[in-house]
Amino acid sequence: MNRTVLIAGASRGLGLELAVQYAAEGWEVLAACRDPEEAHKWLPPSVKVLKLDLTSATSIGALAWELDEAPLDLLICCGGVYGAETDSFLAPGDDEFDRVMHTNVLGHARVIQAFAPCVVAARGMIVTLTSKMGSISETTGSGALAYRASKAALNIIAKAASNEFGPQGATVVTMHPGWVRTDMGGTEAPLTVIDAVEQIRGTLAGLGHSDNGRFIDFSGRSIDW
């Protein structure tokens, strides 16, 4: 029986490559993104591309209605925006803060709420791709406050989700994918998208229910909250 993965945020970067690699492995892939027509250009025909705007509760609800409670073996939440690139402590403006928090935090919370029952039904896994920049104990810099705040908030949402849905049979993990050569990561990043996704997939394949609630990196190393 084919395994099914829903990738929320599959228009580019890690989300797009996750869709490509899971499809190549024989999974039924549901690639949800803001611009399905653009994503179709890069994804294999076997991938079902779906409309999803993480900033819209209506869009998330419409996708949940379309999938009609079908069981999901894997839900990956990976859409996100960075906000202003600052090297020093600088409070973000209202519009920037709202955009980053709505996309990186509220959107992911709504997706988890909408599709967690589908994952529970399959005794599957929910993965939030976050960043160690959201780790309070491992923070060494002072810039990119909106992004750091959003990832710290996303981390607590994922941890709360593990407390809610773990006892119901799902496994919820929070993963830092590494510094990856994407539009967000930049050209200096040491990991290519292909290599990062291969490592992410390998690590996820080795996890079990005992890993519920963990914050890890792409290699499986635990990260302090």
DSSP designation for 183: T
Please give the CATH topology (third level) of the domain spanning 4-217: Rossmann fold (3.40.50)
Residue 123 makes CB contacts below 8 A (sequence gap 6+) with: 169, 170, 209
Return mean pLDDT, the chain. Answer: 93
Which region, left, alpha or beta, applies to residue 19 given φ > 0 means left and ψ of -120 to 50 means alpha? alpha
Burial label for 222, CB within 10 Å (0-12, 13-18, 19+), is: exposed
Which regions of the chain are under pLDDT 50? none
- 76-134 pLDDT, tens digit per residue, is 999 889 888 888 999 999 999 999 999 999 999 999 999 999 999 999 999 999 999 99
User: For residues 105 and 46, what is the distance between their CA atoms, to the nearest angstrom?
Assistant: 30
Question: What per-residue confidence (pLDDT) applies to 209?
Answer: 98
Question: Which pLDDT value is given to residue 184?
Answer: 64
Name residues whose C-beta falls within 8 Å of residue 37's C-beta, 6 or more positions apart in sequence: none
pTM to 2 decimal places = 0.94
- State the pLDDT at residue 86: 85
pLDDT of residue 2: 86
The catalytic residue positions are 147, 151
Please, what is the Cα angle at 120 between 118 and 125, to 5 degrees?
95
Closest C-alpha among 154, 200, 180 to residue 13: 180
